[in-house]
Structure 1
Amino acid sequence: MFTTTLTPTETPFQSVAWKFNFSETIIVSTNVANNTGPEYEGRITFFPSTGSLEFRSLTLNDIGDYSVSIIQADGTNPVGRTTLEIHGEQILKSNNLVEFSASVSLSCSASGSPTSFLWLNGSSEVTASDRVQLTDGGSSLTIINVTRSDQGPFRCCAFNPFSNGTSDPLNLSISYGPENINLILSPSQGYFAVGSDISLNCSVGSRPPAQFNWYLNGDELPDTGSELRLVNVQMSQSGNYSCQAYNNKTLRSQTSQPSAITVLVSDWLLPYGVRTMPPYPIVQPVM
C-alpha cells in the first residue's frame, strides 16, 4: 500500500499520476476518467481522495522506484517517490527422518529488511514448545525428535510493510514402525486335514513398507512377503507360525504372536465342529 500524506479535501484533485521507474504509467486519474496501464489492470486499487495506491499479487518484477505527481485544486503540485522491495522465500529442505530419534531444521530466507516470519503446518500455525524452537527472528524452525504429525506440509510466510508472500509447501518424509503387527490365519480353525490349503497374512503399520520373514517353531522359513501360503499341507508342517516385520529405515522390527496350525492325517479325525464331511462308520463284528 502506497499511502500519501495528503488530507482528503472537498474539492477533488485535478489529476494524479503514478509511474513505475519514472517512465511506465501505472495509472493517471483526472476529473474525467481513470486510465490504468495494461500491466496493472486488476492488480491495483486507487483512492482518489488521497491519491494513495494499493497493489495486489506482487511479483519480483514489481521491485523498483515508484513516483506520484498530484495537481491539486489550487494548482499546487506535490510529488513523491518510494522504493519497493519484494520479499522472496526459500525453505531449506530435509528428508529421510526417523520418528522419535531425528531432528530437523527448516530455514526461511527473505530479501529486504525489516521482515517477520510465520510458519504453518498444514493450516495450523507452528508455535514454540518443548520440541519446537523458533529462532533468528522466527526465520528458523527446529523440531526435536520428530513424529509423524510433523510431516507437513510446511509453509513459511514472510512479511514486510508493503507485502507478504508464502513459500511453496514442503513435506517431510518421516519413517516410522513397524508397529501394531497382526497375523491372520485363513481358514481360522487351527485344525486342518492333510492336503488342505492354508493362508497366513501379516499386516503392520510401517513407513516405508516393512519387509517380512516367516518362522515355524522359531526356525526361519525361506518365504518372504506379507502372505505365507501352505498348499497341500502335510503333518510335518504342524506347529507355531509367526511373522516378523523389519523396517530398513528405522532399523526396527516387530514379531507377531504365534498362530498354531495342527495338521491331521484324516478329515474325520478333526474336531467335530470343523469337519468338512461326516466320519466314516465303524463296523464291529458280532460275537
Structure 2
Amino acid sequence: MFPPGLSNGVGVLPDGPLIASVGGTVNFTTDLNPTETPFTIVNWQFDNGSKPQFIIISQSTGDTTAPEYEGRLTLFRSTGSLELRDLKLSDSGEYTVIIQDGMNQPIGHVTHLIEFNGSVSFSCSSSGSSLSFLWMNSSSQITTSDRVQITDGGSKLTIVNVTRYDDGSYSCNVSNPISNDSSNPVNVSVNGPEKVNLEPQSQKYTEGSNIHLSCSTDSRPNATFDWFFNGKSLSGSGSELKLTNVQKDQSGNYSCQAFNSRTSRYQTSQLLVISNCPCHVNAQCRITLS
C-alpha cells in the first residue's frame, strides 16, 4: 500500500486521505452546496508527476472528456464533485478541480493514491529427489494463467490481484516415482466489498411520496454504508435510506458507498435518479347545448 495522500482547498475539497484499489471506484466530493443553476465551468485536471492534463471540462455548451476517461467518470455539475470508476494504477497522482461561477473560482487539490490489489504466495518443500509438485484448491487442480504463476520447479505458487473467487483451501501434493505426500491445507479468504446494488431502480414519484432505498453488497465482514445526493454526503448511515414526504428539491442523483474495514476498500453503487411528477392534474371540459 502506498502512504495516504492529503487533500486541501479553499472550502472546496475536504481534508483527509483518499485511497482506493485498482478496479475500484473513488468519489472526489466537494464541500460546495448544490446550486440551482450549474456552474459556468467545472474543470478537473490530473497530474501524475510529469505534467498536468485535463480529465473533463464542463461548460454550458457541453462537456469535453479526455479519451482515456470516457465511460469511467460521472461529473455532478451542481456541486463539481467527480466519480471515477474502473481505477488503474496509472490513475495514481494529484487531482485538481477549478470551478468558475461568474468571477468566483474556487480551486481545490487532492492527492489520490491507488492501492495494489493483494497478492498471495505459497511455498512447498520436501526431502527426496526427482520431486513433482501439484497444487490444489480444495479438490480442483490449479493451473497457470495471467494471474496464477507456478515457479521454482513447481514448488512456489503465486496469485496476483486476488479476488473473492480465489477463496478456498490450498494444499501442495509432492511425489516422486517411489511415494507421494500432501501438505496441510491453508485457507484463503478474500474480502469485498463487491457488486454494490441499489434498489429500487430509477423512477418518478409524486410530491409527498415516501421512498425507501436499499443498498447491498458482497463483503466479509459486513460492509458499512454512506449515502450521497448529487455527489454530496448525506447524514446518517446504514444499508437503508428512508425519504419521507419528498419534495421537488429532493429530485436528483442518489448513490450509496460500501466500505470494508478489513480491506479498507470502497465500492460505489450505480446512480439512482429520482424525479418528481406533479401532484395533481386538473382538466376542464366545456359542454355547449343547442
TM-score (ref. length: structure 2) = 0.47
TM-score (ref. length: structure 1) = 0.47
Task: Specify the structure having the higher radius of gyration (Cα).
Answer: 1
Q: Which has the higher contact order (CA 8 A, sep 6+)?
A: 2
